[in-house]
Amino acid sequence: MPTSRSALAALPAVDRLLRQPRVAALPRPLALRAVRAVIDELRARVLAEGAEVPPVEELIAAVEVRVAGWRQPGIRTVLNATGVVLHTNLGRAPLAEAAQQAVAVAARGYGTVEIDLESGQRGDRLTALRARLAHLVGAEDAVVVNNNAAATLLTLTALAQGRSVVVSRGELVEIGGSFRIPEVAEAGGARLIEVGATNRTRVADYVRALDALAEPAAGLLRVHRSNFRIVGFTELPERAELAALAHARGLWLYEDLGSGNLLPETPEEPTVSQVLAEGVDLVSFSGDKLLGGPQAGIVVGRADLIQRLRHHPLYRALRLDKLVLAALDATLALVQEGREAEIPTVGMLRLGPQDLWPRCEALRAAVGRPDLDLTIEPVDGRAGAGALPELPLASVALVVRGLPVADLAQALRHADPPVLARQSQDALLLDPRALLPEQDRSLAAVLRRILDALSPSPTSAADPP
């Protein structure tokens, strides 16, 4: 116990540490918080374990480490070498330069978010977006909220609260973050009527369900199977068949299209325009997937139905702020002007092995470790985020073998900037597809540092001290 008392007496005062030049140079509120935390933890160790008080220099270093950690941005730039373009955990689509500039302009000051300059009265914050979307997809009107889950919730709440909606059993999906269609419908007050079997649903199944209801249904629902496929003995009605059934009974047909697709270059996914042309009344999709814009949920279709969504109280809780509005408007403008190649997501999805092979060669050369097993090999990339789930993107990667894969992957994740790559049984794969061109050099520098740390070059090891 005397030892503990003497150690406690040796604890430096808070003011003493704060006066140290290195601590005094830190932001005062953070420095004070860190000093108190370091001293409190040291006091607890002294009492519990009889720990000795370290030199002041060590305490100063501990304070600096804490403050540095607190000052680290919540979202850090990551080098995405996974080959997955729309990586949900990494924020999905990187914005086009035009969208970035639009966000910066909107953030700097005031803007025409919700004012009509002609009349000087309050206006509609979606005026520009509604016009662009109507032109791009051939819709009568549009409404935009903060993500596609919100779009689904708003649609079912505004159009089917307290009423029935008929959906195929094979479309009751769950996507990332435990977002389940039945639970969203329940939250919106709609009653889902499941029809058909998991793998086969026919128009007759919808007819029987509608005929059996005591009260008329609100509408029919189709849901995109974003992240899975049912293959083999399968059947689903065509959209036109369901649209004809819905309209004959005075109902609407709504399709949650998931990732959405505005550009007719991925035949595996119908475009929003095609879906509307087949008779679907409302279509919702994401802004941050195949469109390559910011996170948003876009609903397009019949004007009377869109108006009901826009006038529902829930819309205000789900609407976009000015920064997302600016980014989405700029992204849609690029598509409208035929400049979609400037959208990073579009460009990345269009890359082929012939584009990626030279980048892998340059990466290997920049690393400069001929003693290590670094090869360039064909691999499959992915769109990601539930988009094009069955479509592999022919790609190539720099493959690292001969080192502990888990250790190498962890070291890359802890680097500055962090690097995410793909792990296989005996190799680490670095696919440059989802890297912005200017990031290739950064990846080479990080990889060189990590490889040198894990496996020093024989040449450098032989050099005299």
> Tens digits of per-residue pLDDT, 300-351?
999 999 999 999 999 999 999 999 999 999 999 999 999 999 999 999 999 9
What is the predicted pLDDT for the residue at 174? 76
Average pLDDT over residues 288-295: 93
Please work out, in degrees rounded to the nearest 5, the angle formed at the alpha carbon of residue 107 by the alpha carbons of 292 and 294.
Answer: 15
What is the predicted pLDDT for the residue at 170? 86
Residue 444 is which amino acid? A
The pLDDT confidence band at residue 11, using thresholds 50, 70 and 90, is: confident
- Residue 214 reports pLDDT greater than 70: yes
Picking from 50-59, 205-214, 391-400, which range would have the lowest pLDDT averaged per residue?
A: 50-59
What are the structure tokens assigned to 9, written together? 């007496």
CATH topology for 79-86+348-462?
Answer: Aspartate Aminotransferase, domain 1 (3.90.1150)
pLDDT digits (tens, 9 = 90+) for 387-435: 776 678 899 999 999 999 999 999 999 999 999 999 988 999 999 999 9
Contact 226, 389 (CB under 8 A): yes
Specify the 3-state DSSP secondary structure of 219: strand
Q: Do domains 79-86+348-462 and 95-342 have the same CATH topology?
A: no
Domain at 95-342: CATH code: 3.40.640.10
What is the predicted pLDDT for the residue at 463? 46
Nearest alpha carbon to residue 289 among 384, 381, 155, 382: 384
What is the predicted pLDDT for the residue at 180? 81
Beta strands in 196-296 (DSSP E): 219-223, 252-256, 282-286
Give me the residue spans of the domains in the chain.
2-71, 79-86+348-462, 95-342
Nearest alpha carbon to residue 330 among 299, 301, 292, 297: 292
The pLDDT confidence band at residue 194, using thresholds 50, 70 and 90, is: very high
Average pLDDT over residues 19-39: 95
Estimate to the nearest angstrom the gap between the alpha carbon of 111 and the chain centroid: 27
Angle, in degrees to the nearest 10, between helices 148-160 and 303-310: 100
Burial, 131: exposed, middle or buried (Cβ in 10 Å; 0-12, 13-18, 19+)? middle
Nearest alpha carbon to residue 451 among 344, 396, 370: 370
Please work out, in degrees rounded to the nearest 5, the angle formed at the alpha carbon of residue 318 by the alpha carbons of 132 and 168.
Answer: 85
Q: What whole-number percentage of the chain has pLDDT above 70? A: 94
